[in-house]
């Protein structure tokens, strides 16, 4: 009976959201990845990993993405007459970058323009396999202790200076010293440059994530002659200054007004002949997702992946003149979960955690609370990732099962008080917290929602371990070494948000992750991560809720849209506009 009432309430709220979204003044507090405006140095964007910040075997969520009602398959829908050169692509986004130097700053807001401005050594296809870019070939040593890159000859920066092995070395070492994702290049012991076009990356141990860490959004190649001038790299004036910004990618920086507009122009001397196709990309910063929706509907806006909440996605899905798809951004791999503080006396008991997991209906949350715009998740590795294990303990058996589990262990839920925090900038997470509290009350727990005033208050509280439970949103970032290990390694409980904030400690998991992180054989890695996921799901340091895809909407004229594993966090030199 309670679930029927919850469903009715959610449906009524959903209709209210849809009605509100149709008005020009809608505030449109969106889902994770959609509506927060700044970036956070803790490792991801405040809107990306909380509601902003900060993988998949096919273009996005593989099988589950195909179930999205109204989702397009990613084909732009226009008649393909072959690539046409020229034109301006208008992207609207809610995301505001601090600057454009991706060697020292992570996140969606930085990477979308940053990957147009700077090239990386490698690109990756829909199967997570590396492809040539600035490195035309590469070789991994038999012992796995070095990777040799052979660079494209004749490539130049936007100021005409040649791109050499010294620039790659400088960029990698800058990222190693400054980027928030410390695991990406932690195994790099030195970088040799035997000639201008050869880079030898020496490793202290085999490190299979090294290749994916050379993706566009993770290792932009920046000019040593600009940045190696003794100034603090994180505060360098050329990180965003149009007067001195020098990139290596397919587009140059023509205009940058913080929080307003980023204008990119095609680089005529780009190292890939006849690319990019577009003359120009304009990224407009639009704080209100409802305004972005209107721009897409009237044909003014070409592309956006920051659409706001579920109501906006559904509204666009019902418009035959706009393409809407869940494909793309597979390597980002966002997952939302209910995270436990294992130091809490009640939550230190695995039976209590398992009972809570049984009480939560993931299908209800995705289908009703999120109106079918998210997909249930069952492990901490994204469902589309080649390392995802679908055969783990998944819980969700219901209220009675949760009560029976507690009764068998002699636990009276009425003696346990629980409070749930949530990321306050995300309206969807408040709905999740309220739903979970109702479920826990039905089990018999004394449960309540704890509301904090702002994102910094939430982040500080969780990082300090002052919470009991929190709804959270964390990204996989492609390879598990980069975005997954940080959550579970016992050595990473370091008092910083988006690390091991549960206090989870299992030596078997530590060992499996360490082995998988140093294993180049793909099938062996799959098996090791499968074992780790099985153990973690038995221990239940968190309850996995759903994967919120980056819903993208674009005009039919947009050809070869950015629906690869990095989505808009990758270069758009192959995008073109049909006439």
pLDDT 10s digits, 416-467: 999 999 999 877 899 999 999 999 999 999 999 999 999 999 999 999 999 9
pLDDT score for 81? 67
- Same-domain pairing of 434 and 453: yes
Given a contact cutoff of 8 angstroms between Cβ atoms, the answer to whether 181 and 106 are in contact is: yes
- What would the DSSP string read from start to end of 446-459? EEEE---SSHHHHH
Q: Is 238 helix (H, G, I), strand (E, B) or coil?
A: helix
**Which residues contact residue 25 at a Cβ distance below 8 angstroms, ignoring those fewer than 6 apart?**
290
Q: How many CB atoms lie within 10 A of CB 274?
A: 9
Domain tally, the chain: 2
Query: Which among 383, 396, 310 is positioned nearest to 3, based on CA atoms?
Result: 396
- What would the DSSP string read from start to end of 19-75? HHHTSTT------TTTS---B-TTSSBEETTTTEE---SSSSSTTGGGGSTT---S-
Residue 27, domain member (yes or no): yes
Residue 220, domain member (yes or no): no
pLDDT score for 330? 86
User: How far apart, in whole angstroms, are the C-alpha atoms of residue 414 and residue 447?
Assistant: 10
Rg over alpha carbons for the chain, rounded to the nearest Å, is 23
- Same-domain pairing of 385 and 430: yes
Residue with tokens 């970032």: 477
Residue 300, domain member (yes or no): yes
pLDDT score for 41? 37
> What are the distances in angstroms from CA 375 to CA 10, 73, 269, 362, 363?
17, 16, 43, 8, 8
- Same-domain pairing of 254 and 366: no
- Same-domain pairing of 427 and 298: no
CATH number assigned to the domain comprising residue 8: 3.40.190.10
User: How far apart, in whole angstroms, are the C-alpha atoms of residue 449 and residue 13?
Assistant: 19
- Same-domain pairing of 522 and 560: no
Residue 160, domain member (yes or no): no
User: What kind and span of H or E run contains 355?
Assistant: helix 350-359
CATH number assigned to the domain comprising residue 431: 3.10.105.10
pLDDT score for 32? 32
- Same-domain pairing of 519 and 454: yes
Enter the tokens of residue 229.
């001038």
Q: For residue 232, list its beta bridge partners.
A: none
- Same-domain pairing of 348 and 426: yes
- Same-domain pairing of 542 and 556: no
- Same-domain pairing of 555 and 535: no
- Same-domain pairing of 461 and 514: yes
Q: List per-block mean pLDDT (blocks of 10 residues) for the chain, which spans 579 residues.
A: 44 38 30 35 39 31 36 46 93 95 92 97 94 98 96 98 98 96 93 98 96 95 97 95 93 95 98 98 96 98 94 96 94 96 98 98 96 96 92 95 98 98 88 98 98 95 97 94 95 94 98 95 96 98 96 97 95 96
- Domain encompassing residue 314: 2-32+65-115+233-327+551-577
Q: What is the pLDDT of residues 65-92, one digit of tens each?
A: 333 333 444 444 445 568 999 999 999 9
Q: At what angle do helices 399-408 and 427-443 cross, to 10 degrees?
A: 50
pLDDT score for 399? 98
- Same-domain pairing of 449 and 564: no
- Same-domain pairing of 368 and 442: yes
Enter the tokens of residue 259.
């929080």
pLDDT score for 8? 43
Q: Is 314 helix (H, G, I), strand (E, B) or coil?
A: helix
User: How far apart, in whole angstroms, are the C-alpha atoms of residue 6 and residue 80?
Assistant: 47
pLDDT score for 80? 57
Residue 56, domain member (yes or no): no
User: How far apart, in whole angstroms, are the C-alpha atoms of residue 528 and residue 508?
Assistant: 11
Residue 135, domain member (yes or no): no
pLDDT score for 313? 96
Residue with tokens 């140059």: 252
Enter the tokens of residue 508.
């078997």
Residue 123, domain member (yes or no): no
Residue 262, domain member (yes or no): yes
pLDDT score for 57? 27
Long-range own/partner contacts, residues 519-524 (CB < 8 A, 24 or more apart): 519/206, 519/208, 520/140, 520/144, 520/206, 520/208, 522/386
């Amino acid at each position: 009976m309670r679930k029927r009432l919850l469903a009715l309430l959610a449906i009524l709220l959903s209709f209210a959201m849809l009605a509100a979204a149709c008005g020009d003044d809608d505030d449109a507090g969106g889902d994770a990845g959609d509506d927060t405006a700044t970036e956070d140095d803790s490792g991801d964007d405040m809107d990306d990993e909380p509601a902003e910040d900060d993988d998949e075997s096919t273009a996005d969520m593989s099988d589950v993405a195909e179930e999205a009602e109204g989702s397009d398959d990613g084909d732009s829908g226009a008649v393909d007459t072959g690539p046409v050169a020229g034109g301006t692509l208008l992207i609207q986004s809610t995301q505001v970058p601090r600057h454009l130097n991706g060697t020292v700053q992570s996140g969606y807001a930085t990477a979308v323009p940053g990957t147009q401005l700077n090239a990386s050594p490698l690109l990756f296809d829909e199967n997570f396999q590396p492809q040539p870019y600035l490195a035309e070939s590469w070789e991994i040593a038999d012992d796995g202790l070095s990777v040799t890159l052979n660079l494209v000859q004749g490539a130049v920066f936007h100021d005409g200076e040649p791109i050499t092995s010294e620039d790659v070395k400088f960029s990698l070492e800058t990222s190693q010293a400054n980027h928030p994702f410390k695991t990406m290049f932690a195994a790099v012991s030195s970088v040799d440059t035997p000639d201008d076009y050869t880079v030898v990356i020496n490793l202290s141990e085999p490190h299979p994530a090294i290749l994916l860490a050379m993706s566009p959004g993770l290792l932009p190649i920046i000019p040593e002659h600009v940045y190696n001038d003794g100034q603090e790299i994180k505060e360098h004036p050329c990180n965003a200054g149009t007067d001195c910004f020098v990139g290596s990618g397919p587009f140059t920086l023509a205009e940058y007004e913080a929080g307003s507009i980023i204008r990119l122009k095609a680089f005529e001397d780009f190292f890939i002949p006849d690319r990019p196709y577009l003359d120009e990309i304009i990224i407009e910063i639009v704080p209100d997702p409802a305004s972005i929706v209107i721009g897409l509907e009237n044909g003014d806006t070409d592309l956006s992946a920051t659409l706001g909440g579920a109501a906006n996605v559904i509204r666009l899905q019902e418009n035959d003149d706009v393409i809407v798809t869940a494909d793309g951004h597979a390597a980002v791999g966002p997952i939302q979960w209910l995270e436990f503080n294992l130091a809490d006396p009640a939550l230190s008991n695995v039976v209590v955690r398992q009972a809570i997991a049984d009480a939560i209906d993931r299908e209800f949350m995705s289908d009703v609370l999120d109106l079918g715009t998210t997909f249930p998740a069952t492990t901490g590795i994204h469902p589309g990732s080649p390392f995802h294990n679908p055969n783990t303990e998944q819980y969700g058996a219901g209220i009675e099962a949760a009560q029976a589990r507690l009764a068998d262990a002699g636990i009276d839920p009425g003696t346990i008080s629980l409070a749930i925090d949530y990321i306050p900038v995300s309206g969807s997470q408040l709905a999740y917290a309220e739903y979970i509290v109702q479920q826990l009350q039905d089990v018999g727990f004394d449960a309540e929602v704890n509301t904090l005033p702002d994102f910094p208050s939430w982040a500080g509280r969780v990082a300090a371990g002052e919470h009991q439970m929190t709804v959270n949103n964390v990204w996989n970032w492609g390879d598990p070494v980069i975005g997954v290990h940080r959550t579970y390694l016992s050595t990473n409980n370091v008092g910083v948000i988006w690390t091991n904030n549960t206090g989870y400690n299992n030596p078997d998991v530590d060992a499996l992750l360490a082995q998988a992180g140093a294993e180049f054989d793909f099938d062996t890695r799959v098996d090791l991560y499968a074992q780790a996921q099985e153990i973690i799901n038995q221990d239940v340091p968190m309850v996995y809720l759903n994967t919120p895809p980056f819903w993208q909407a674009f005009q039919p004229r947009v050809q070869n849209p950015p629906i690869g594993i990095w989505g808009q966090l990758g270069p758009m030199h192959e995008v073109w506009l049909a006439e």
